[in-house]
Amino acid sequence: MDVKQNQSAEWLLHNGYNADFEMIDASKLNLILCQYYEDTVSITCTPLEIFPSLLTLHLSSAPYYRNIDVENDPEFRSSNSMLRKTPVYLDDAERGEVVNQNISISFADLRKVYASPVLGLNDRHTLQNKVWLDINLYFGGFTRQLLRNMSKKTFHCCTDLNNGRKYYKIQDPKVALQLTARMYEQPGSPYCPVYSFELYLSKLNTDSTVFFQQPMGYEEFQKTGLWYSTSPIGKNNQSRKLTNICQSVGIKLNFRNTSIRHLCRIVREKNPEYTPLYSDRLFRILTSNEMESESLTGEDMMY
């Protein structure tokens, strides 16, 4: 989403603001964003939740070079709060799925999933399940359209110079919900998200750039040895991915994929920055008994 796209520029002019907003002070920009989110949530065709990240990138780049973080600076607390309370990150079909149900998802549920054979390294289906769940948890949760937009070049491998640990980040601002999010390796653990991620990359069909490719059918797999086809996973399969994974281990609830974002927010309350501490804490929660009692309420699930 381009922060200078026609819809944004037209909205600014219509409401009496200069379309060249880049040097507005943070407090005033926050008030403008509150009004913008309220006015455009029902008509925007792009996921507004990535807007703070894109706006930060825009303002910190040439020719403005502003030292500003729309996503995390305290001056933008009220606009970000409004964004969290609005289903702006859903596509048209997903908006229609938002219903008043007292459904909650807990870390205990996810620990049950991580300890089960539904996530694994030796099968094309279970490996894809693990990678799908890992990237949603470590990078903040994605709509099905953003998942379909991912390619093999979406992710970039880096090394943390402070500790020598490998991690992945998203280098495409059109896909990233959090531009600073990182998924760190956990050396020696069978649950290491980087190990399974790289194994998955090595198994993808070389004739397609799509990241989430359809697993090969049994006969084709036996004939060719290929794990994945050149076709992307369909929208409906993406939409029900979390529900299907959970139901495979006996959790008989319908979870929207975006409910994962609320779990990430719980972790960020104690580790607000995407450092190794955030990644390590999330990893411990998923593979141990930390935060056993924490879950989301039905009210949380509405947003």
**62-95 pLDDT tens trace:** 787 787 888 778 888 888 887 766 544 444 444 4
Q: CB 291: neighbour CB atoms within 10 A? A: 18
pLDDT reading at 16 higher than 60: yes
State pLDDT tens for residues 253-291: 667 666 777 777 777 777 666 678 888 888 988 887 554
Asked if residues 192 and 204 have their Cβ atoms less than 8 Å apart, the reply is no
Pairing of β 213-215 and β 183-184: unpaired
Q: Which two tokens stand for residue 299?
A: 């009210």
Confidence of residue 54 (pLDDT cuts 50, 70, 90): confident
Summarize pLDDT for 123-178 with one digit per residue, the tens. Answer: 999 999 999 999 988 887 777 777 888 899 999 999 999 999 999 998 876 665 55
pLDDT category at 101 given cuts 50, 70, 90 is very low
| Amino acid, single-letter form, for residue 43 | I
d(CA 228, CA 196): 15
Q: What is the mean pLDDT of residues 29-51?
A: 69
What is the pLDDT at residue 200?
Answer: 97
Res 213: pLDDT: 95
Q: Take residue 2 and report the two structure tokens written for it.
A: 């381009």
pLDDT given for residue 166 in this prediction: 95
Domains and CATH numbers, the chain: 6-88 (no CATH), 107-302 (1.10.443)
pLDDT tens, 231-255? 999 877 887 888 888 888 888 766 7
d(CA 127, CA 121) in angstroms, rounded, equals 5
Q: Is 139 exposed, middle or buried (0-12, 13-18, 19+ CB in 10 A)?
A: buried
Q: What is the largest CA-CA distance in the chain?
A: 64
- Identify the residue with better confidence: 205 or 62: 205
Q: Let me know how long the chain is.
A: 303
Q: Looking at per-residue confidence, does 81 or 3 come out higher? A: 81
Looking at residues 93-105, what average pLDDT do you find? 45
Predicted structure pTM score: 0.65
Tell me the C-alpha to C-alpha distance, in Å, between residue 227 and each of 104, 126, 138, 149, 230: 34, 11, 25, 20, 10
Quote the tokens at residue 116. 């089960």
Check if the beta carbon of residue 84 is closer than 8 Å to that of residue 303.
yes
From 121-125, 179-183, 185-189, the region with the lowest mean pLDDT = 179-183
